[in-house]
Amino acid sequence: MKKRNRKIAAALGIVIIGGIWYNGAQSSKALPSEQASPTSSFTPLPSPSDEPSQSPESPSPSASQAPDKSPKPSASASNPPTAKPTETKPTESTPPTEAVKPPVKESAAFELLADSLPGSTVRKNKQGLAVITNASSLYVLVNKQRNLASDYVPKDLIVPDVPFSFSGDSPKKQMRKAAAKALESLFKAAKDDGIKLKAVSGYRSYATQKSIFDSNVKRKGEKVANRTSARPGQSEHQTGLAMDISSASVGYALEESFGKTKEGQWLAKHAAEHGFIIRYLKGKESVTGYSYEPWHVRFVGKEIAEDIANKKVTLEQYFEDAETAMARKA
pLDDT digits (tens, 9 = 90+) for 253-274: 999 999 999 999 999 999 999 9
**Residues 271, 186 contacting (CB under 8 angstroms):** yes
Which residues of the chain carry a pLDDT beneath 50? 21, 25-78, 88, 90-98
> What percentage of the chain has pLDDT greater than the value 90?
66
**What confidence score (pLDDT) does residue 56 get?**
40
**What confidence score (pLDDT) does residue 10 get?**
57
**What confidence score (pLDDT) does residue 123 get?**
96
**Which whole-number Å values give the CA distances from 79 to 59, 75, 85, 199, in the listed order?**
19, 6, 18, 75
**Residues 189, 162 contacting (CB under 8 angstroms):** no
pLDDT digits (tens, 9 = 90+) for 274-328: 999 999 999 999 999 999 999 999 999 999 999 999 999 999 999 999 999 999 8
Enumerate the β-bridge partners of residue 123. Answer: 131
What topology does CATH give the domain 154-203+240-299?
Answer: Muramoyl-pentapeptide Carboxypeptidase; domain 2 (3.30.1380)
Handedness of CA 233, 234, 239, 243 (dihedral sign): negative
Q: Is the pTM of this model over 0.85?
A: no
* Domain layout of the chain by residue ranges: 104-152+312-330, 154-203+240-299, 206-236
**Which whole-number Å values give the CA distances from 272 to 129, 145, 265, 293, in the listed order?**
32, 25, 13, 16
CB-based contacts of 175, cutoff 8 Å, min separation 6: 157, 158, 159, 160, 183, 202, 203, 240, 241, 242, 243, 299
**What confidence score (pLDDT) does residue 193 get?**
98
